[in-house]
Structure 1
Amino acid sequence: MIWCVRKEGHRSGFNLLATGPSRTGKTSAISFGIKCLGCLNFNFDTMNPCGTCKCCTLNHHLYGNDGWENVVDFLDEREAPTPVRYHYYPVDCTRLSEADLESKLAKIRVCNEYLRIVYLDEVHRLSRRFMDERLLKPLEDFRAIWIASSAYVKRDGDNGQSLDKMFQNRFTFRITTEIPSLDQLVIWLAERCHEWGIRVETPEVTLPRLAERCHQVPGMALQVLNKAHKRRSKLLTAVMVEEHTFDLDE
């Protein structure tokens, strides 16, 4: 998708749906993808954003400002003789009213040369109010790249509470996150501690215990790492792991 949009100039037809349990990396994966679409110094060899340009550091890739616009300049102008202008529309589906949805669609419907990136966060919340049906035609016809995240997909017995199959079929690409194994999460936590300069008290005990207490949900474990990172000592202790309250129903 990133190659087709940035190298070949596609403006639609490359919709992405990310599904999986809560706090297993859907938003992080989408954030990375949107950074790749907007990075001013994108590396096509490694397919990684630079992490330092305006597009990578302003966090508009998550929250935007309802029409944020920028010019994307490639490192090698021969690869893209004209810059790409784009509008980015993040949509919080947990609070979206029908009037808000119509207003968003009116803005996205406008036809010009701009690339439009629409991010539907927690899109399954729309199906509970039967608002997902309103998006079926725009997802197929509008000149935009649609990216959506959902903690649920349609299964037998859902009674319309999850994403309908017809809605899912509007997305060309699908990625699914899942709960890692205990060993996988321990390795990942050790890497994050090293990356963020967090020292770990008896890591062979503390990190496996953290993985157990958070029920192997990465986003929950990160809450404890964030606490340790904010401490002057940057020390993660066994006591911190045991005393933290994990709200697994979030």
Structure 2
Amino acid sequence: MSSEPTPREIENWFPGKWSEVIGNTVLVLKLMDFILNGTCNMMATGIGRTGKTRTLHLGIRSLLCTQRSPNLDPCGQCYACNESVDPKNSHWGGFRALSGSEYEYFAVDCENITKAELEDLKKNSRLYTEKTIVYLDEVAALRRRGLEGTLLKTIDESDATWFATAIKLKREREAKKKGWTVHLSQDILNRFALKVGTSVPHTDDLRLWIEERCLEWNLKIEEPDETIPLMMKRTNKIVGHVIKMLALAASNRNRTLTLQDVRKFNLDALD
């Protein structure tokens, strides 16, 4: 990304190293364990914009990278780093040959994949090796689209490791239990030995992260001692919402976020 990224580039930003991840401590540690010690099926869950997808993508890039650092950061230059980020990049079994990685890799966009494509995935011989990673982006979409059942037997029969993300939603008002839930069947939940929730960062850590991103992206915050605490209060420290505010700063004259910008920011439009 350039030294003065556009608002859209900021909105689409992904961390390139572990020190750029904010919050989600348990998820970060588990992904690092996977890189060092081996993997198991895992689902990352959390409310929208808490960083589950960004964090998991970094873990996958590091796992697949052919030149990762001693700190487990992906190099950011190899084929694996540049082609494994977007779940819409569908390799369907050619990834290992193209990248030189020790892993085969399949990325599944659950919002758009067809039943025929899921059936093709099941037939792919590379799914039946332990050195294969399958990433299911927003797996709850398969149930909504009537495709969850197509996936269950494939998971059971394959030797691959399956990673998935699932967004948590507020329960309906008439539900007996209040709070948040994932709209997944027990059948699909049972296929993931490990389920890890997202977490928001500590206030001091988030302030430092905001300052570092502003320095990196050439952004300014007017009256930071008032504006940054208000950013954290209004966003409930949800990092994806903070990033949207920083994108707004990039669209302003002099790339500056004002106290008034934060006061008027329409968080309802992000839900």
TM-score normalised to the size of structure 1?
Answer: 0.75
Where in structure 2 are the equivalents of 1:26-175 lying within 5 Å?
A: 26-43=52-69, 45-56=70-81, 58-63=82-87, 64-67=89-92, 68-70=94-96, 84-107=101-124, 109-110=125-126, 115-152=131-168, 162-175=183-196
Contact 1:119–1:147 (Cα < 8 Å) also in 2: yes
* Unpaired stretches in structure 2, ≥5 consecutive residues: 1-29
**1:247 is paired with a residue of what secondary structure?**
helix
The counterpart of 2:48, out of the listed 22, 25, 36, is 22
User: Cα gap change, 1:173/1:197 in structure 2, threshold over 3 Å: closer, same or farther?
Assistant: farther
Partner Cα separation in structure 2 for residue 207 and residue 112 of structure 1? 49
Q: Give the aligned partner of residue 247 of structure 1.
A: 268
The counterpart of 1:226, out of the listed 247, 262, 268, is 247
C-alpha RMSD over aligned residues: 3.5
Name the % identity: 30
**1:178 is paired with a residue of what secondary structure?**
coil
User: Cα gap change, 1:100/1:174 in structure 2, threshold over 3 Å: closer, same or farther?
Assistant: same
Structure 2 letter corresponding to 1:149: T
Residues 65-111 of structure 1: per-residue CA shift (max 9 Å, x gap): 333524599xxxxxxxxx6454432222223343332233333x546
Residues 174-198 of structure 1: per-residue CA shift (max 9 Å, x gap): 3210344655543432333234332
Partner Cα separation in structure 2 for residue 7 and residue 24 of structure 1? 25
Contact 1:87–1:115 (Cα < 8 Å) also in 2: yes
Partner Cα separation in structure 2 for residue 227 and residue 134 of structure 1? 42
2:211 aligned with 1:194: no
Residues 39-60 of structure 1: per-residue CA shift (max 9 Å, x gap): 12112x322222333322x253
Q: CA deviation at 1:139?
A: 1.9
The counterpart of 2:197, out of the listed 172, 176, 194, is 176
Structure 1 letter corresponding to 2:158: F
Q: Give the aligned partner of residue 227 of structure 2.
A: 206
Contact 2:47–2:167 (Cα < 8 Å) also in 1: yes
Pick 1 or 2: higher relative contact order, CA cutoff 8 A, min separation 6. 2
* Unpaired stretches in structure 1, ≥5 consecutive residues: 74-82
Contact 1:35–1:49 (Cα < 8 Å) also in 2: yes
Structure 1 letter corresponding to 2:109: D
User: Cα gap change, 1:123/1:209 in structure 2, threshold over 3 Å: closer, same or farther?
Assistant: same
Larger helix proportion, structure 1 or 2? 2
Contact 2:139–2:164 (Cα < 8 Å) also in 1: yes
Q: CA deviation at 1:166?
A: 3.5
Aligned length: 233
Q: CA deviation at 1:245?
A: 2.5
User: Cα gap change, 1:179/1:41 in structure 2, threshold over 3 Å: closer, same or farther?
Assistant: same
Q: CA deviation at 1:239?
A: 3.3
